[in-house]
Structure 1
Amino acid sequence: MKLPKGEHSTPEWQAAMVALILVAEKGGPTMLARIGVMRALSRHVERVFDPDLKMPHWGKRKLKRDQ
């Protein structure tokens, strides 16, 4: 695939390309390249905190034998 010129020069894609080149040429960590590409792909997604998604685990955990 080919990136359009406008997207090619964004900092997210530049960082992703540098990470990919490091992995290909010098055997760097592939996870860094993956993270860079995923961040570049989702750069327009706004992350919003939703408190209803997960219940907090505050307090002591109760064992089954203590119930």
Structure 2
Amino acid sequence: MTERGWGRRFEDPITIGNRVLVTLLDAGEYIATLPKQQHAAPKWQAAMETLILVAEGGGPTMFARIGVLRAVEPPPRLKV
């Protein structure tokens, strides 16, 4: 049976500035505290969706971690 719940820990914590996100709940709370315009951005909404899917539906926490990391990191620059 797949483990579920917001208290699940990431295999590797996510460090954003001086904050360390250890659990799915930590990441969800971090996203919820972002300024409204930033919080509403598609990349953060996608990150929140992955957190909800993993917390409530189960599955690897790595999926949620990737979602959050993609939202944190700036998009790659294309070489021309």
> Taking structure 1 as the reference length, what is the TM-score of the superposition?
0.60
Matching residue of 2:64: 33
Matching residue of 1:4: 35
Does residue 22 (structure 1) correspond to residue 53 (structure 2)? The answer is yes
Give secondary structure in 1 for the equivalent of 2:62.
helix
Structure 1: which 5+ residue stretches go unaligned? 50-67
Greater Rg by CA: 1
Highest relative contact order (Cα 8 Å, sep 6+), 1 or 2? Answer: 2
> Taking structure 2 as the reference length, what is the TM-score of the superposition?
0.52
Count, aligned residues: 48
**How far 1:48 moved relative to its partner?**
5.8
Quick check: which one's strand share is greater? 2
- CA-based RMSD: 1.7
Aligned-residue identity in percent? 60
Runs of 4+ in 1 over 4 A off after TM superposition: none
